[in-house]
Structure 1
Amino acid sequence: MLHDPKLLILDEPTVGLDPLISQSIWELLLDLTANEGKTVIITTHYIEEAKQSQMIGLMRKGTLLSEASPTELLTSCNCSYLEEAFLKICQNHVAKTNSFKIPVKQPTRRFSYARDLPPPPLLNNKLFTFGRFKAQVCKNMYLLRRNIPFTLFVIFLPLIQTVLFNIACGHDPKHLSLGILNEEFVGNSGKCSLTQTKNCFLDENVSVSCLVLERLKEKTFELVEYTNEEDGKYAVKENKVWGFIHFSKNFSDNLAIRFNDATDISDENGTDISDSMFDKGTIHAWVDNTNKYMYDMIKKEVFESYTDVVDSLFNKCNKSEKLGNIPIRLLEPVYGNKKPSFIHYASPAIIALCAFYLPAIYTGATIISEKEGGVIERVVLSGMNFIEIAFAQVLVQMIFIIIQTTLVMIVMFLVFDNPFVGDIFPSFTLLTLIGSGGMCFGFFTAIVCRTQTEASFLGIGTNFLLKFLCGLMWPTEGIHYLLRSVSVYMPLTMSTESLRSLTAKGLGLEHPSVYLGFVSIFSWILVFSLASFIMLKLKRDVWTKS
């Protein structure tokens, strides 16, 4: 009563107490029901204790004999006391029951007539009852409606995750510091003159190094100038710059000679000096290789800047731009574009991971929370079975999964314009199945684990396991060959590849890389469901509080 409950269930609250105290308790209970809208339920074997109640239910041997107000009971039985009325009602019930007996007149008959008794209370052998299922669904919906912040958090959590992923991950870094030493203009690269760019660098003194540096600035690199090679290398070691680029003296002249005729170059003594010329006409770079992605990006940007400059210079010399290219030509990609982004590769994996783990977390946390609070134990004791509990949870979860999948696909493919060239229906269906698989995994977690702590450890452990083995963070082709055979059968490996084939490649359901993903996640749904059923049969006290 200190917690101001809406429902009070009391067992013999005034039996054996002083009459004055008993009267004060009843006055309090009547005031709670009349003025504060409370409901009070009293169980007692002392009938007179309940004479001030609004409604009385009389039970004998598990059967409800009568239910009426005290006045109606006394009037119908023509009695002055409830004890006397209860006695008459019991006698009438026994007489009515015995009237169904049929006397046996022929002792030679080998059968007898059973009494027509009412069925025992709560006797229900049905595997599924819609009434109990509906009650469980209503209970779940009421809990969500009473906790609006939590409900909104569950709905918008994948939306927040995908937005943060698209904003924070997968984009090329900008404004990186890059050290330079241009010996063509030592200590003063600002003297680089762009007025000479109209001339042919094969015939005139055009500073190719300045053109390369200008192109790097256009790519948002922040250039830091050094006067000697040792200072530049030391800056890389001290993490002041990501890399250091060195242009030798007469770099442009040696580069022009290299393209003019590199095979007939010799000094005045006839000694071949082509190796020296090649070295002085080469860009030397030292890059921090501890971050592979940064190393590959800087290397690619420097290479592209150089090739762009050389192509433009050959064009000004009225020569084919192909003369400066390496003898490899990358044509239009079969899938994707020429400048792919890591986010395009990772987006299907992030969607699949959110679709799997968010339903798993919510389902497991909800069931374990109710188990710790004793809610599930009470509903099971009242006659509800696991199928009804599971189906009620599935119905609520499917609503969440559909809403979450819709929001995630809108954000990922419409708002942030990630590649989507396939049909939307197979992709939506696959994500719904992945969410259903996560929900079944949540059921399994709730059955196996007794506390939220155990479930948290299991969820975090499997999360990292799937990230590493399912090709979410790195292609499965790079996994050790011993684990590669195991990775194929993990829950999200084939389904993620199937989603990538649907969204980025536009393949149909008839393609193996697509339909195998559906087969894989559907198989895991069956595995988790079967494992949950087996654990229910083998494990004792599944629904009791630890």
Structure 2
Amino acid sequence: MHLKMFSTKKYSRYLEDQFDRQYYGARLKLKKFDTDEFQSLHSKIYPPFIDSSQEAHLVSCVEVRDLSFHYNPFNPILKSITIDVPRGKIYALLGASGCGKTTLLRMILGTLKPMSGTIKVFNETPGTKESNVPGSGVGYMPQDLALFMSFTVKETLTFYGHLYGMPIDMINYRIDHLVDLLNLPKKNRLVSQLSGGQQRRVSLAVTMIHMPPLLILDEPTVGVDSLLRLRIWNYLEDICRDRGTTVIITTHYTEEARNSFRVGFIDSGVVLAEDNPQRLLYKYNCDSLEDVFLELCLEKAKSNNIEIENEEKKNSNQIDGQEINNTINCKPIKEKNQLKLQNQIIIEEDTDRDDLVNNGDIKSDPNNNNNNNTDRCQIDDDGDQYSKSKKLSIEKIDDLESKLKLKQQQFSSPISMGFRAANNHHYLNTRRITALLEKNFILFKRNPSSIILLNLIPVLQMTLFCITFNRNPENIPIAVVNDENRTHSLSNKLFIENIDSKALKIKPYSNVEDAIKSVQTLHTHSVLTFQANFSRNFRRRFLKPESVTDKVIESSKIGFYPDTTHAVFHLYIYQHILEAFERFIKAIGVSMGYNPKYFGSPVDLMEPIYGRMDLKYFEFVAPGMIIALVHGMSMLMGSFSVVSERHSGYLERGMVAGIKASEILLSHLIFFIVPVFTQVVLCLFLTFYIFGNHSVGSLWEIFFITFITSVQGLVFGLTLSVICPTELASLLAVFILEAPFIFTSGVLWPLSSLPESVQKACLWNPITLPIQSTHYIMFRGWTLANIQVLFGLGTCLAYISIVLSIGFITFEIFK
């Protein structure tokens, strides 16, 4: 490789030209060029080669000491990590996928707790009351988009601005500024309508909306064109210089990291090196950071290989050596489209540039000549340049360092923006709760089908229930066989006439065999038979009871062949036959001159104490079915809320913005109360006004207990959403819980049929006592002043408090 030596004067002319080309697109013909200007231009084009003694004076923003973390003790993710991020600088974190970069960032953000070691951000531990991280003190861009696809660009940025407590005027100003800076599309376009690169820019804008003093960017320039990538890096450098902002960035563009002040290489949870990029290039004599990373991996591989050999020698088991690349998985990150404008110097000995100097358009300082300046740079023929000789003298950058220290003192506070954010450690902040409610409203407004289904499903279920159970069976076919002579068949005809023709439909058959066959072929459900002398022998039992023989008694009976496979039909048919017989016997008595009351039942049925004699099964089941439906639907509604946000990445980003677990759960609870209220109103309206169910007590009290029970189901669903890892697991948990709730609540069958010990256990069912309370109000007319009714209401309130507390605690522990 052919190398060239050139003077500071020529190098400064080149830097000036490169600076002009990048930032203005044309050459600026400067009349004077001094040392300060040289340093300014040099820092724009190429990061300075900083001495380690100078870095010792920098103020730390993030300090990580001996940090370790693991999910499985046998497979640690981070192993004694130690890094130091200076304030007001860009720190690049490089490493292959799965090496622990994102885990390290999450612990810096305070969303993960380390197993050992310490982390200090602005001299405070993240997640403590004294720290503003997570919160408005940090801006975090995750590797995933974590954007609401149903939001517009403006709605997205406004939502996060409200979370950070920004005034609306400042939010609008920052939106306009970021739209121009990041070349975002129109503010009223939906995020779902944007391309992948545009969505990534919106995600970056969310991170910078509140001008935090610390930016943590996980792969921010992936999918972004090179020109916009350059603008982003220039903006990051500007805010670091002007506002003292600290930037921690992970990137796959290794050469892009050369623009950072310090770079850290991570592999398999271990920091391989942490230093200024130019010093690393100089130390390892490499052309690119990719080659530096490879050298670091090779060094680690050699070290590991030596350890293996030593271990083998101790065990006296000699084996063949293995290749270094098989010892460790070191995959240097490679990117074809590197930022050539910022990381490459090409010396063009063109006559135009020499003419500029000769003609006096550019006048260099006469003190800066080849004899007085020992600084040198080496250039290869391909144009790839890096510093391999002496670094710039400390005297030339002392002025810049003093200005930097002054700038750091000005921005020593964790909040470097024009407003002071509210305390992020209040467990309930009305500003953030309001923002979350607005977010939920926009999501449901953009998806109206979800609102319709939430209200329509319980209404349809209750409608089907009312239609199905509100009417008794009618026109049930039964077979009748009459063997009696037609001239003497007055009694059997009288019996048949007393059968309710609306309930039972008579089908005559000539013999028993054909009638039974009709039951077997599902044409009828039962068989009635009258023997040949039925009428004469039946009257004989009343006229001459002393002469009645067994044969007379047997021939005066009505044969009944039931089909008990259908229990409802069997009981219903048998009930109507008994009622028909009661009417028949009274009619026979009247025809024979007896008092009809003589043939009545000896049990005198009085007026019911509670309820009424014609109470239907539908009316008995209705209140319990309403509570079971709205409770289950509310549980299902809440079960997807938190888990879906966690799965999509919204939750993590919101928690970094300072949202508390209590605020998330409370915002969902408040928002879903509206559809829950609507469901309860519609179900009660259908039951009592459309289908004519009756209630002795107050409908308002029935509504109140039903509504509180529905809120209880919502709380159950929210807690399941916190506990379950996926939407499917949450859905299965709802069905697993709701089915036993219904079966053991007494909705379909009385609990008194169970053993006493099981009955007591069923009282712990969260809907058992509320159902009993609604029964008391509906059929007995009791009020909330009755202690038995209050038991149901108290059970609901107790479960709401206990389950919601479990949700809060679980969310805080496992967030």
Normalising by the smaller structure, the TM-score range is 0.7 to 0.9
Change in Cα spacing, 1:480 to 1:352, as seen in structure 2 (3 Å) is: same
Change in Cα spacing, 1:453 to 1:320, as seen in structure 2 (3 Å) is: same
Cα deviation for residue 489 of structure 1 reads 1.3
Q: 2:666 aligns with which of 386, 391, 412?
A: 391
Change in Cα spacing, 1:325 to 1:129, as seen in structure 2 (3 Å) is: same
Trace 1:192-271 onto structure 2 (pairs within 5 A): 207-216=490-499, 218-262=501-545, 264-265=546-547
Change in Cα spacing, 1:537 to 1:143, as seen in structure 2 (3 Å) is: closer
Distance 1:461 1:35 in 2: 43
The answer to whether structure 1 residue 150 and structure 2 residue 450 are counterparts is yes
User: Could you report, residue by residue, the CA deviation over 1:200-237 in whole angstroms, capped at 9, with x for unpaired residues?
Assistant: xxxxx661211322333623422222223333334434
| Equivalence for 1:61 | 245
Change in Cα spacing, 1:31 to 1:117, as seen in structure 2 (3 Å) is: closer
The answer to whether structure 1 residue 180 and structure 2 residue 362 are counterparts is no
User: Could you report, residue by residue, the CA deviation over 1:310-361 in whole angstroms, capped at 9, with x for unpaired residues?
Assistant: 3344345553222222322222222222233211111011111012111110
Letter matched to residue 519 of structure 2:
V
Letter matched to residue 249 of structure 1:
A
Cα deviation for residue 474 of structure 1 reads 0.8
Q: 1:338 aligns with which of 586, 590, 613?
A: 613
Q: 1:360 aligns with which of 623, 635, 644?
A: 635
Q: Contact 2:475–2:501 at 8 Å: present in 1 too? A: no
Q: Contact 2:661–2:808 at 8 Å: present in 1 too? A: no
SS of residue in 2 equivalent to 1:502: helix
Change in Cα spacing, 1:318 to 1:507, as seen in structure 2 (3 Å) is: farther
Distance 1:339 1:400 in 2: 35
Trace 1:123-522 onto structure 2 (pairs within 5 A): 124-184=424-484, 207-216=490-499, 218-262=501-545, 264-265=546-547, 273-522=548-797
Distance 2:478 2:448 in 1: 51
Cα deviation for residue 90 of structure 1 reads 12
Cα deviation for residue 303 of structure 1 reads 0.8
| Equivalence for 1:527 | 802
Change in Cα spacing, 1:274 to 1:524, as seen in structure 2 (3 Å) is: farther
Letter matched to residue 459 of structure 1:
V
Q: Contact 2:662–2:808 at 8 Å: present in 1 too? A: no
Q: Contact 2:773–2:791 at 8 Å: present in 1 too? A: yes
| Equivalence for 1:49 | 231
Letter matched to residue 579 of structure 2:
E
Change in Cα spacing, 1:234 to 1:512, as seen in structure 2 (3 Å) is: farther
Q: Contact 2:477–2:523 at 8 Å: present in 1 too? A: yes
Distance 1:299 1:537 in 2: 61
- Work out which of the two has the higher radius of gyration on C-alpha atoms and give 1 or 2: 2
CA-atom RMSD in angstroms? 3.8
The two structures have a TM-score, normalised by structure 1, of: 0.74
Change in Cα spacing, 1:182 to 1:47, as seen in structure 2 (3 Å) is: closer
SS of residue in 2 equivalent to 1:216: coil
Cα deviation for residue 119 of structure 1 reads 7.5
Distance 2:654 2:594 in 1: 85
| Equivalence for 1:22 | none
Distance 2:754 2:403 in 1: 80
Distance 2:707 2:437 in 1: 20
Letter matched to residue 572 of structure 2:
M
Letter matched to residue 768 of structure 2:
T
User: Could you report, residue by residue, the CA deviation over 1:503-528 in whole angstroms, capped at 9, with x for unpaired residues?
Assistant: 12211223343121112222221231
Cα deviation for residue 27 of structure 1 reads 12
Change in Cα spacing, 1:212 to 1:50, as seen in structure 2 (3 Å) is: same
Distance 1:305 1:514 in 2: 41
Distance 2:401 2:189 in 1: 36
Change in Cα spacing, 1:394 to 1:299, as seen in structure 2 (3 Å) is: same
SS of residue in 1 equivalent to 2:458: helix
Cα deviation for residue 131 of structure 1 reads 1.2
Distance 2:150 2:787 in 1: 62
User: Could you report, residue by residue, the CA deviation over 1:51-88 in whole angstroms, capped at 9, with x for unpaired residues?
Assistant: 999xx96642359xxxxxxxxxxxxxxxxxxxxxxxx9
SS of residue in 2 equivalent to 1:222: strand
The two structures have a TM-score, normalised by structure 2, of: 0.51
Distance 1:315 1:98 in 2: 113
SS of residue in 1 equivalent to 2:749: coil
Cα deviation for residue 99 of structure 1 reads 8.2
Distance 1:217 1:116 in 2: 90
User: Could you report, residue by residue, the CA deviation over 1:257-300 in whole angstroms, capped at 9, with x for unpaired residues?
Assistant: 223342x11xxxxxxx4333222222221111122222111110
Cα deviation for residue 5 of structure 1 reads 9.6
Distance 1:4 1:518 in 2: 39
Change in Cα spacing, 1:418 to 1:233, as seen in structure 2 (3 Å) is: same
Cα deviation for residue 430 of structure 1 reads 0.4
Letter matched to residue 407 of structure 1:
L
Distance 1:91 1:373 in 2: 45
Letter matched to residue 60 of structure 1:
G
Cα deviation for residue 143 of structure 1 reads 1.0
Distance 2:729 2:577 in 1: 51
Cα deviation for residue 496 of structure 1 reads 0.5
Q: Contact 1:440–1:528 at 8 Å: present in 2 too? A: yes
Q: Contact 1:171–1:342 at 8 Å: present in 2 too? A: no
Q: Contact 1:365–1:452 at 8 Å: present in 2 too? A: yes
Q: Contact 1:232–1:244 at 8 Å: present in 2 too? A: yes
Q: Contact 2:244–2:407 at 8 Å: present in 1 too? A: no
| Equivalence for 1:109 | none
Letter matched to residue 61 of structure 1:
T
Change in Cα spacing, 1:48 to 1:377, as seen in structure 2 (3 Å) is: closer
Distance 1:135 1:99 in 2: 32
Distance 1:362 1:459 in 2: 10
User: Could you report, residue by residue, the CA deviation over 1:18-59 in whole angstroms, capped at 9, with x for unpaired residues?
Assistant: xxxxxxxx9998594599898855679999726999xx9664
Change in Cα spacing, 1:348 to 1:217, as seen in structure 2 (3 Å) is: closer
Distance 1:89 1:226 in 2: 114
SS of residue in 2 equivalent to 1:327: coil
Change in Cα spacing, 1:386 to 1:97, as seen in structure 2 (3 Å) is: same
Q: Contact 1:155–1:400 at 8 Å: present in 2 too? A: yes
Identity fraction in percent? 19
SS of residue in 2 equivalent to 1:184: coil
